[in-house]
Amino acid sequence: MCGIGGWIGHRENAEVVARSMVRALRHRGPDGDGLLSLPDATLVHTRLSIIDLSPAGKQPMSNAGGTIWSVFNGEIYNHRELRRRLEGKGYRFTGHSDSEIIPYLYEEMGTEFVNVLRGMFAIALYDTRSHSLVLTRDRFGIKPLFYAPEEERLSFASEINALRNLPGMDLRIDRQAVYDYAALFYIPAPETFYRGIRALDAGELLEARMEHQKVTWRIKRHHRWTVAPDPTMQTDEVAGRVEGLLRSSVERQLDSDVPLGCLLSGGIDSSLVSTAAQQAIGGGLQTFNVRFSDDAYDETWAAKSVANHIGSDHTVLDMDGEKGTWTRITNLLSHAGQPFADTSIFALNAVCRLMRQHVTVALSGDGGDEGFGGYNLYWQLARIARLQLIPSPMWWAGAAVLTPFSRLCLIPPHIPSRLREFSGVDDIAIIQDLYSWIRGKELQRLSWDEGKVDSIRRLFEPRWDYVFRKTPSRIERLSALATEVNVRLVLCNDFLFKVDNASMKESLEVRVPMLDEDLFALGLCLPYHLKVHGKTCKIILREVAKRWLPPAVARKSKCGFGVPVDRWVDADFKTRLKEALLGRASRISEFFRPEVYRPIIEGFCDGKQSHDTSRQGLYQRIIMLLSLQLAISRKPDQFPAMSVPCLNLN
């Protein structure tokens, strides 16, 4: 795992700029760095040594002729198989790192090389023969990659903060991105907070060329997933296949020359991964989780139960000892490089900081819910589909009857409004509503840009291929679209972005065995009845859990990996929050109406619950507003001069 950066094209003081980029990416690769200067390109790399700790693993790396250079962030899990294939064609290697095969694969296959890679990766290649730069990301978007196109150059980096500080960067705020962020609490690729910086999307490949002192570029998709439910599948047969694929995935992802452990949250997915890892290494696995005093958020009992069951060496981090101070929260939010409001990043970063004291590589359970229907919304879809058979006037009447009960806190505050929102709408509108934090009329009231930018709906329109063996039922169609949105939009831009930021800030590599390509493809073939039964989701993984885990863990309901922010932060945080968001220095009024967000801030700081917003909804909105304010008010960082060995091929 590493940090990568650079550019194609001409830049004044190129070496000085490249060194500042190394400084910005140092936390991603504290074990070493490399800088390559070519006539038309510069490549930068910071190294977190995982496989082949010798100098033979140092990047940038080239082919034997020195015509193709690469920098790479991630892990290629089938690198040994690809190495043998290349050696059979006469290629020779000096080390055994996975990064060494990349320039040779490109030499052999051109841009099609990405199709044979299995793993998580963000890759940059420069071809001196064609004066072209290639950027690409893995199929899920596990590893991030951002780029900044200009007329005379195209720059790229693993993190936005490494691009913000480049001379001449267009840092004007993208109002479309802010509008989308207000609804989703993350910014979807290819947008970023800045008009001059874009995010390469999952499964994309960018090719840029230097022609007549100008850079031209184009993007193509190298992978698109297909949802193909197979109604003939049977539970026992599929569960058996999942067992085999999961074991193989975990075994491949245990490849490391440095200490490795598992993030064992207590959920089913991380428990299955930890069990497979312990079996594969034959004992001695280190596992970790975080504990909350708020029982609604704590799964320590489950994590300890699994750890005892598999015999792992388990460590618990008490989050009450990691209080939510102003400095801790704002530093982590600013580290993301753009507004980001998934509050589980606080707990994840805390456990990553703990784990880094013991291991360099961690396996997590991320991705199981997306592939196998693990979220509550999957059973909610069936309920919505049935309720929509009721005439719309009855929905509105029901909402009117329930509203007084919500104001008395006798029922959840969102129920009456959700009844109105689901009345007579189509599949896309249902999925949009379920995946948005701020919806419909609230978004209209909040944003100054309502009606001036593109609708959120565009993000939820289907882009994948759907293959049904017969005319699909309404619930099968809804399930397919929900799966796509989960993976294409939420997993890539929220969950995986969060994992990378929280872990790499602490120089910890996190791997995700549930996102093995074959295992995930199998999940996309599951019919709805093998995902959900009643209110029980993730049927297949629960069947595997029955075979592998303690019964109480296998049966437990899903609990999100979140932080009770309202109880976790200290009093000083609330005081400074109110000043930051409502004081004279606040700039969020440039995008949002103060009369809408002021009651949210005051309610949170004064400990008053809103009658129409849940507890979690209230503190999520607070972090959304704070993260936006931090991004608006931030100025480019100034990095001190530093010494980085530079290979100059001018």
Binding residues for ATP: 263, 290, 364-365
Distances (CA, A) of 601 to 550, 561, 620, 623: 43, 24, 11, 10
Structure tokens at 104: 């040779």
Cβ 365 vs Cβ 265: under 8 Å: yes
Burial 371-400 (b: 16+ CB within 10 A, else e): bbbbbebbbbbbebbeebeeeeeebeebbe
The catalytic position among 2, 262, 352, 492 is 2
Question: What 3-state DSSP class applies to 316?
Answer: strand
Where on the phi/psi map is residue 529: left (φ > 0), alpha (ψ -120 to 50), or beta? alpha
Is 537 one of the annotated active-site residues of the chain?
Answer: no
**Residues flagged as binding site:** 98, 263, 290, 364-365
Residue 463: how many other CB atoms lie within 10 Å:
13
Cβ 131 vs Cβ 40: under 8 Å: yes
Residues composing the chain? 650
DSSP E strands: which ranges in 54-167? 61-62, 68-76, 119-127, 132-137, 146-149, 153-157
**Residues flagged as binding site for L-glutamine:** 98
Write phi, then psi, for 187 (nearest 5 degrees). Answer: -105, 120
Closest by CA to 581, choosing from 566, 567, 592, is 592
d(CA 376, CA 49) in angstroms, rounded, equals 39
d(CA 528, CA 525) in angstroms, rounded, equals 10
Structure tokens at 268: 């089913």
Rounded to the nearest 5 degrees, what angle is found at the Cα of 25, between the Cα atoms of 22 and 31?
Answer: 85
Structure tokens at 54: 């010798």
d(CA 507, CA 158) in angstroms, rounded, equals 14
Closest by CA to 144, choosing from 154, 132, 153, 135, is 135
Active site residues: 2
